[in-house]
Amino acid sequence: MSEWQIAAAALIAALVPCGWLCLRRSFADGLVALQLAGTLACLALLLLSKAESRQPFADLALVLAALSFAGTLLFVRFLEENR
């Protein structure tokens, strides 16, 4: 395994506590965990594309960053209205 694959594996493993928070804690806590999970997934995709020397795959990371930003903003709106 190269250093990039090890780093990507560590980031993917770090998604587990985020998922646990989303499932077990409040909506606001889950939202914070979702934000971190978006960042972790973007970076893991970037590192995997670097590890496999497939630079077009890095576009997936960019698209995921943009979409997770929009998606989280939508959930923020729900949190605001969910009184």
Partner 1 sequence: MSVSDAAVYALLALGVGAELIACLGIAFMRDTFDRLHFLGPSALGAVLIAAAIWVQQGPSLISLKATLLAAFLLVSTPTLAHATARAARINELGDWRRQPEERIEVEER
Name the site residues for partner 1 (rule: CB under 8 A): 3-4, 7, 10-11, 14, 17-18, 20-21, 26-29, 31-33, 35-36, 39-40, 42-43, 46-47, 49-50, 55, 58-59, 61-62, 65-66, 69, 72-73, 76-77, 79-80, 82-83
Nearest to residue 32, comparing CAs of 41, 20, 16, 21?
A: 21
Which two tokens mark 34? Answer: 């979702």
Asked if 41 and 67 touch (Cβ cutoff 8 Å), the reply is no
| CA separation for the pair 9, 40 (Å, rounded) | 11
Nearer to partner 1, 1 or 3 (CB): 3
State the nearest-atom distance from the C-beta of 44 to partner 1, in Å: 9
